[in-house]
Amino acid sequence: MNQRSLEYVTSLYGGYWNFDFQDSCYMTNSYFPPDDFIELLSSQLKTLIHAYPSTNRQISSVLGEVIGVDGQKVVVGNGASELIAAITDSLITNVAIPIPAFEEYPNRARLLGKTVSPYMLSGDFHLDVSDFIAHVQTSGANSAIIVNPNNPTGTILTRSEITELVDRLSHLDLVLIDESFIEFSRVSPNPSISDLVDTHPNLMIIKSISKNYGVPGLRLGYIISANADHVSRIRQGVTIWSINSIAQCFLENLGRYQAQFQEACAHVVASTQKLFSNLEAIEGVKPYPTEGNFILCELDGSMTGTEVSTMLLDQFGILISDRTNKGGLGPHFIRIASRTEEENEKLTSALDTICSSRGTVSAARAE
């Protein structure tokens, strides 16, 4: 396989520092951590790589102090993916989930022999809460997962909508709300419902620290739940040293940088909305409004998502997410992660060039 091809690169799921291209595929915070935070970690690198990290319970307590939650209600994982596996294995038998969504949820459930009851989104991809609740009832699901804001659609449920949903699903064993992109939402009041875990025993919040704090290489995520049994099961599902010492040091110092973090999130929102406006100006591209740090785009019928993704990588050195026929989407979808304004402008310029030549692409395909 060509080691520069789209198929090969995406099959690696990371390690992209080994390639000379712009990663506009994975969603992260390009404005955090600040340089002085990275320098702090770098200065302790020799000590950290020679030292064992603390137990999960201790590291969870450290994060709890940062986010203002009792550490007994927090479990830190080696990325949200480790927690998704533990949750699916121990708490899910039949899960209802709107599709498209983060593919790890249905994929992991199927791999673990669980039943997936998909609820297909259409139109503008906004979730009809009452219709979804009816779907949960008829599907016989014991659990429901909502990604809010949703990946890859960028849609969001308001606080009143998500509160109604968890209230009406109180009979389920688990309602899991993924709030990994919530800091990038412009909706007021902020739609996070992490404060409702104390009054909703089946409610669990999951977040990927990679997405909002810009540290995917550290592999950090966490859940919040007031259900002691749920917390115990999840903590038993992760290994004693699943969090490395560098990641622990990051969490130990994170509280000192919350003001910079809020500023970084504001930069992300501004960059993303400017990217949206620039994409709107490209003929043949329909960007969907977003409350995340990424934008789902539908291309006109002259080009597929795979064709555009391949051309961006091969001709311009830019990697995006090809959403062709994934998660209920058709052949003409791509997802673009918002980066710095300079990187976003490079991407929109390249995409505009490709779309301007789409007649040539269609002719070549016909041959």
What is the average pLDDT across 88-98?
Answer: 98
Domain final residue pick, 210, 243, 276: 243
Residues 100 and 228 in one domain: yes
Residue the block writes with tokens 């940088």: 257
CATH number at residue 174: 3.40.640.10
pLDDT digits (tens, 9 = 90+) for 122-163: 999 999 999 999 999 999 999 999 999 999 999 999 999 999
Compute the distance between CA of residue 264 and CA of residue 30 in angstroms, rounded to an integer: 8
Residue 360 resides in a domain: no
Statement to judge: residues 107 and 150 lie in one domain: yes
Cα–Cα distance for residue pair 253/41, rounded to 1 Å: 9
58 and 15, same domain (yes or no): no
* The pLDDT value given to residue 359: 56
pLDDT beyond 50 at 363: no
Do 207 and 62 share a structural domain? yes
Amino acid occupying residue 244: N
Co-location of 239 and 286 in the same domain: no
Residue 13 lies in a domain: yes
- Mean per-residue pLDDT for 306-321? 97
Q: How many beta carbons lie within 10 A of that of residue 43, not counting itself?
A: 10
Within this chain, do residues 289 and 205 fall inside the same structural domain, yes or no? no
pLDDT tens per residue, range 195-219: 999 999 999 999 999 899 999 999 9
Domain boundary, last residue among 243, 272, 292: 243
Identify whether 196 is part of a domain: yes
In the chain, the percentage of residues whose pLDDT exceeds 90 is: 93
Q: Is residue 119 domain-shared with residue 219, that is, in the same domain? A: yes
Q: How confident is the model at residue 301 (pLDDT cuts 50, 70, 90)?
A: confident
Domain boundary among 197, 219, 243: 243
Residue 364's pLDDT is what? 45
pLDDT recorded at residue 135: 98
Check whether residue 71 and residue 182 sit in a common domain.
yes
User: Is the predicted pLDDT of residue 58 greater than 80, yes or no?
Assistant: yes
CATH number at 276 reads 3.90.1150.10
* Rounded CA separation 362/110 (Å): 37
Identify whether 39 is part of a domain: no
Q: Based on the fold, state whether residues 209 and 68 are members of the same structural domain.
A: yes
Residues 199 and 153 in one domain: yes
Q: What is the pLDDT of residue 2?
A: 67
Q: How far is CA 24 from CA 19, 268, 299, 313, 360, in A?
A: 13, 14, 17, 10, 25
Confidence of residue 105 (pLDDT cuts 50, 70, 90): very high
Which pLDDT score is estimated for 1?
Answer: 55
- Asked if the structure places residue 45 within a domain, the reply is no
Q: What percent of the chain has pLDDT over 70?
A: 97
Residue 97 CA to residue 95 CA, distance in Å, equals 6
> Sorting pLDDT into bands at 50, 70 and 90, what band is 90?
very high
Contact 279, 297 (CB under 8 A): yes
Over 80: is that where the pLDDT of 240 sits?
yes
Residue 348 in any domain: the answer is yes
Judge whether residue 229 has pLDDT over 50: yes
CA separation for the pair 36, 309 (Å, rounded): 35
Establish if 361 belongs to a structural domain.
no
* Residue-wise pLDDT tens digits, 173-189: 999 999 999 999 999 99
CA distance 332 to 319: 16
Residues 59 and 197 in one domain: yes
What's the mean pLDDT when you consider all of the chain? 95
Neighbour count for residue 66 (Cβ, 10 Å): 16
- Residue 313 domain flag: yes
> What is the C-alpha to C-alpha distance for residues 298 and 285, in angstroms, rounded to an integer?
6
Give the separation between CA 310 and CA 235, rounded to whole angstroms: 41
Q: How many domains does the chain have?
A: 2
Q: Residue 205: give the domain boundaries.
A: 54-243
pLDDT at 365: 52
Lowest-confidence pick of 9-23, 29-43, 99-113, 137-151: 9-23
Residues 302, 221 share a domain: no
**For residue 4, what pLDDT is reported?**
74
Query: What is the band of 357 on the pLDDT scale with cuts at 50, 70, 90?
Result: confident
